[in-house]
Amino acid sequence: YVVMMELPGLTQDDVQLQYHEGRLTISGTRREREATCEQFHRIERGHGNFSRTFQLPLPVDAEHINADLRDGVLTVTCPKTSDASVRRVHIS
């Protein structure tokens, strides 16, 4: 599974990732940027804390989840496990 999230202007220190029981949570803080101009007509980018949780289908290999933040795009790769855990049930 691949999750991509646009996070313009954020660094690795601004973003946290957690995976627990099939849920991938991406959270962080957008900081208010200092501007050289003291007057604004409109500010389009919000600031503050954010959090987004994704329910991933099981099974996911939690030990091999990989995240890359490049050019304002966070890409999280969650590989499936090879253990299918499918068993046949005998009907009596």
Q: 7-13: list long-range contacts, CB under 8 Å, 24+ apart.
A: 7/69, 7/72, 7/73, 7/74, 8/45, 8/72, 9/33, 9/45, 9/72, 10/69, 10/72, 11/69, 12/69
Q: Which residue has the higher pLDDT, 39 or 5?
A: 5
- Segment 40-75, tens digit of pLDDT: 665 566 678 999 999 998 788 888 899 999 999 999
pLDDT at 92 over 70: no
Tokens 């090879």 label which residue?
82
DSSP annotation of 72:
T
- In this prediction, residue 41 carries a pLDDT of 61
